[in-house]
Chain A
């Protein structure tokens, strides 16, 4: 039953994919006039330069580009011409740096807030105000104080991934079942043993959910941050290819951002499965 469902879903996905490819083919096949026509809005925006664009690629052209990039992902021919693998590695390194710094701060802090109703209420207004701020709004402050664009983008990742982790950790710790805490109390378990052997495993699924959300946001934000600061990374690659008017490369980058984002999410989904318990 489940298996046949999987096969049918897979077949349907394939049909939808082929259908979309067909539309793409039909939309780009009719030649340069149509591609030019689709660009008129951009022409108005960008002036004459848009005319030099290679336009929207056909699926076949796109396929060639994908193969070309993926067959040599790690070349380095100077600051404006690096392989996609190198650009993604820069972005991933920044995300990892900012994310782990955030985890290092958010999880212990979330623990403290979750264990103390007083701290919970005292810090809640700060969290509520800071949380909705777009992480990119911090960029000027970061650039001014840190004076280094690469570190600034790590800081922006840090600031955007801290909130879901902090809030989920605090919530997870605060809502650990009273029964388990009472068991620990009747066994006269010390505070550290209680924190690591009862509260941490009990709250781990909620904490991990927060980490997964944070990672998702961090991956969204890194593209925008790199467009802003430039230099390296997948976000810079997108911006650079747009300046080169290579829409094919832009689309390829979009595809890669999606695939890497999905892989990151699946990785955290695995972590989540690992710490989840059935009650």
Chain B
């Protein structure tokens, strides 16, 4: 078994305290791994440092200590190998939907001909269901459509890994559901490796293979990792009929409501930040004691 696709090793982020105050440690001792083709969600309260972790993975921010390896190379700056879908869509308002995607595609393949670029952009706009709206400016698109353009732009550069920061946070429930299902389809079709921040537990259960739970800051940690044991190819209609759906959901909600705070007040007995406990709510036999190797087995069994 070779090393994981992405390894975050001992990440911490500190900000110097203002005038004499002690330093602010946002998170500390954060270790996790992501396998190729895996969809990982991270859930935690606002301010615990999720966006900071994502920016470190993207190479847009640097950790105060620790490092991240992707494909056995250290991440030292932004790269076309990692596509980012930003929280506020971050489309350039003076460009049409297609030109926004084109900007990314031209950056990725500067030598492609105009025709090839056009076809490539069209393919990804079709994929996210924007056929017919290619030539509209972002101001003429709905919130959901803008976010789709952002997703198309990130997918179009065919990155090795996709990073999404609460991509659907600002959308209404109906739109969100539709885009989520499209994302399930696209990811299944492309075997994309994804790291996604969300605050929506149902979204996490629908999309992810594993869900990392982050305790409250300051000094936030990965408290535990929930393995999503629901069968793949989920859909919103059938998801809640799965026997262990509510077990997982209740576990996540319970963590967010009460345990995330308690966790940050006192670390539980035997907690090892290098190997946060793996839990499988709703499944009888608890998984074997976690180590990256053992965890890989759990994941492989499910694929």
Contact = CB atoms under 8 A, between A and B. Distances in A.
B93 A197 contact: no
Interface in B30-82: 58-60, 77-80, 82
Interface in B83-133: 83-84, 86, 88, 90, 92-94, 103-104, 107-108
Contacts of B92: 180, 183, 198, 201-202
B84 A182 contact: yes
Listed residue (A177, A187, A188) with the most chain B CB atoms within 10 angstroms of its CB: A187
Chain A, interface size: which category?
10 to 19
A72 interface: no
Contacts of B84: 182-183, 186
Contacts of A186: 58-60, 78-80, 82-84
Listed residue (A182, A183, A186) with the most chain B CB atoms within 10 angstroms of its CB: A186
Given A180-B90, A182-B84, A188-B107, A278 B139 contact: yes
A182 B104 CA distance: 12
Determine the main DSSP class of A at the interface with B. Answer: helix
A240 to B, nearest CB: 48
Nearest to A187: B107
A277 B93 contact: yes
A2 interface: no
Interface string A173-215: 0000101101101111100010001100110100000000000
Nearest to B150: A183
A203 to B, nearest CB: 11
A179 B153 CA distance: 14
A179 B79 contact: no
B261 interface: no
A187 B108 contact: yes
Given A180-B92, A202-B94, A279-B93, 15 more contacts: A177-B90, A179-B88, A182-B60, A182-B86, A183-B90, A183-B104, A185-B77, A186-B60, A186-B79, A187-B78, A187-B157, A189-B107, A193-B107, A204-B94, A279-B138
Interface of B: 58-60, 77-80, 82-84, 86, 88, 90, 92-94, 103-104, 107-108, 137-139, 157
Closest 10 CB pairs of A and B: A179-B90, A278-B139, A187-B107, A277-B94, A277-B93, A185-B78, A186-B78, A201-B94, A186-B84, A279-B93
30 contacts: A179-B86, A179-B88, A179-B90, A182-B84, A183-B104, A185-B78, A186-B59, A186-B60, A186-B78, A186-B79, A186-B80, A186-B83, A187-B80, A187-B103, A187-B104, A187-B107, A187-B108, A188-B78, A188-B80, A188-B107, A193-B107, A201-B92, A202-B92, A202-B94, A204-B94, A277-B93, A278-B137, A279-B93, A279-B138, A279-B139
